[in-house]
């Protein structure tokens, strides 16, 4: 709980909801007739509507990126270190829009919403979403906000994929794209980890084919395992070593099959259990599928440079040395393609021990580079 709101915070914020009634056609062939997107905004839209920045969230993210919902909040929004007055995304300069993606579980229409056709939750009947679908839905949100062009679309990880997709789907509508700790597509290993997470959920007896809400249960075990395996990939080996090493939970070893012996086990179990109480299992499946499917270059026989030729944005790509989920090599693939496509691109590889999660952390060199880039954007 903040005893007082910090000066560099956007302060108390409230989410808003926007309903859409024009059907949205999806990559899967289906369409959503009606849907709602929940979003927050920080800062003020200027008169020429030229200072809007879109924040795209990653797998388990949501619209609440900065500030506090109440004075009782224990923590601010998930990217508060980067969004606020004087911060990298300076809300004195920019009008920031942050939404919960379609298919999410934090207010926007998703698997846990009521399906108007049946009167019961969509569950596994909710359509699978792709990054392209999200960008299309985000474009409609921009329309309702009167934003014809974003000064920048910004995202980390899966959010970076959305930022890239914006420059391909709507080249006229984005001036700058910031793709942080991202990748042009998943590797076989990335897909494999997602598949373990999905199998953990799908095989949980309380998943009930995705209709667990009607059974009054939650596939907690599956979600817990999915989060545990995900969490390992968010941290570097070094970061885990630094944080836990082989530190013991108690003073001595228990030597049995089920006790928590090491602190890292305790940490992972806690992370898994906490997550399983607040996240929707179908949304987790949907998010991992969106990651798997993302491969914009597939339309051009894998030629990413050719794919990005259509883009009109300038690009800023950032990666972190110890990120093994989306390693610097994956960011360099994006940079190489952008150079081959003769786009303006800044690239920074940040020396950071935290692994993939580094993009969420207040690392001085990262914040400095991020600020520098954002400060140079003309509005």
Query: Interface residues with a second copy (CB under 8 A)?
Result: 27-29, 124, 127-128, 130, 185-189, 191-193, 195-196, 198-200, 202-203, 205, 210, 221, 224-225, 228-229, 232, 235, 237, 240-241, 243-246, 253, 255-258, 261-262, 264-265, 268-269, 272, 282, 285-286, 289, 292-293, 295, 324
**Quick count: other Cβ atoms within 10 Å of Cβ 238?**
13
CB of 264 to a second copy, least distance (A): 4
User: What is the sign of the dihedral through the CA atoms of 371, 100, 37 and 1?
Assistant: negative
Q: Please return the burial class of 196, using the count of CB atoms within 10 Å of its CB with bins 0-12, 13-18 and 19+.
A: middle
Longest distance between any two alpha carbons in the chain, whole Å: 67
Residue whose CB is less far from a second copy, 23 or 241: 241
CB of 29 to a second copy, least distance (A): 7
| Among 144, 182, 149, 121, residue whose Cα is nearest residue 49 | 149
Residue whose CB is less far from a second copy, 56 or 286: 286
Residue whose CB is less far from a second copy, 241 or 362: 241
Residue whose CB is less far from a second copy, 45 or 232: 232
Choosing from 157, 276, 319, 327, the catalytic residue is: 157
- Known binding residue 351? Answer is no
157 is catalytic: yes
Taking a C-beta distance cutoff of 8 angstroms, is the pair 38, 15 a contact?
A: yes
* Rg (alpha carbons) of the chain, rounded to whole number: 21
Report the distance separating Cα 51 and Cα 149, nearest Å: 9
CB of 28 to a second copy, least distance (A): 3
323 is catalytic: yes
CB of 128 to a second copy, least distance (A): 5
Report the distance separating Cα 335 and Cα 192, nearest Å: 25
Choosing from 182, 323, 327, 331, the catalytic residue is: 323
Report the distance separating Cα 350 and Cα 179, nearest Å: 14
CB of 221 to a second copy, least distance (A): 4
Report the distance separating Cα 317 and Cα 337, nearest Å: 12
Residue whose CB is less far from a second copy, 86 or 241: 241
CB of 122 to a second copy, least distance (A): 11
Report the distance separating Cα 250 and Cα 289, nearest Å: 39
Alpha carbon 272 to its chain centroid, in Å, reads: 18
Tokens for 272, please give them.
């898994």
Taking a C-beta distance cutoff of 8 angstroms, is the pair 249, 266 a contact?
A: yes
Tell me the HSE value of 8 on the side-chain side, using a 13 A CA sphere: 10
Taking a C-beta distance cutoff of 8 angstroms, is the pair 57, 65 a contact?
A: yes
314 is catalytic: no
Taking a C-beta distance cutoff of 8 angstroms, is the pair 37, 15 a contact?
A: no
Residue whose CB is less far from a second copy, 262 or 347: 262
Tokens for 40, please give them.
């927050």
- Known binding residue 357? Answer is yes
Tell me the HSE value of 164 on the side-chain side, using a 13 A CA sphere: 32
Which residues belong to the active site? 157, 323, 356
Binding residues for substrate: 227, 357
């Amino acid at each position: 709980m903040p005893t007082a709101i910090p000066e560099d915070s956007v302060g108390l914020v409230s989410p808003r909801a926007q309903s859409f009634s024009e059907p949205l056609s999806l990559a899967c062939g289906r369409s959503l007739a009606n849907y709602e997107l929940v979003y927050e905004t920080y800062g003020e839209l200027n008169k020429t509507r030229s200072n809007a920045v879109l924040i795209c969230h990653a797998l388990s993210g949501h619209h609440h990126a900065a500030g506090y919902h109440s004075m009782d909040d224990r923590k601010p929004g998930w990217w508060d270190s980067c969004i606020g007055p004087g911060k990298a995304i300076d809300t004195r300069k920019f009008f920031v829009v942050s939404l919960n993606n379609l298919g999410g579980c934090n207010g926007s229409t998703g698997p846990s919403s009521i399906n108007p056709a049946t009167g019961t939750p969509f569950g596994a009947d909710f359509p699978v979403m792709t990054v392209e679908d999200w960008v299309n839905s985000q474009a409609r949100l921009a329309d309702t906000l009167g934003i014809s062009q974003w000064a920048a679309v910004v995202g980390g990880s899966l959010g970076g994929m959305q930022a890239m997709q914006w420059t391909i789907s709507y080249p006229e509508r984005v001036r700058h794209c910031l793709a942080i700790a991202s990748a042009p597509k998943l590797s076989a290993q990335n897909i494999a980890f997602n598949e373990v997470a999905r199998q953990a959920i799908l095989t949980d007896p309380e998943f009930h084919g995705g209709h667990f809400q009607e059974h009054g249960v939650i596939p907690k075990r599956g979600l817990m395992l999915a989060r545990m395996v995900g969490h390992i990939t968010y941290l570097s080996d070094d970061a885990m070593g630094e944080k836990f090493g082989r530190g013991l939970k108690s003073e001595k070893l228990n030597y049995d099959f089920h006790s928590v012996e090491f602190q890292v086990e305790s940490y992972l179990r806690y992370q898994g259990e906490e997550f399983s109480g607040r996240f929707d299992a179908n949304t987790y499946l949907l998010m991992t599928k969106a990651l798997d499917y993302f491969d914009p270059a597939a339309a051009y026989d894998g030629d990413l440079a050719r794919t990005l030729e259509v883009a009109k944005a300038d690009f800023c790509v950032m990666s972190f040395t110890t990120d093994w989920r989306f390693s610097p090599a994956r960011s360099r693939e994006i940079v190489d393609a952008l150079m081959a496509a003769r786009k303006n691109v800044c690239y920074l590889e940040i020396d950071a021990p935290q692994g993939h999660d580094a993009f969420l952390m207040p690392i001085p060199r990262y914040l400095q580079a991020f600020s520098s880039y954002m400060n140079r954007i003309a509005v």
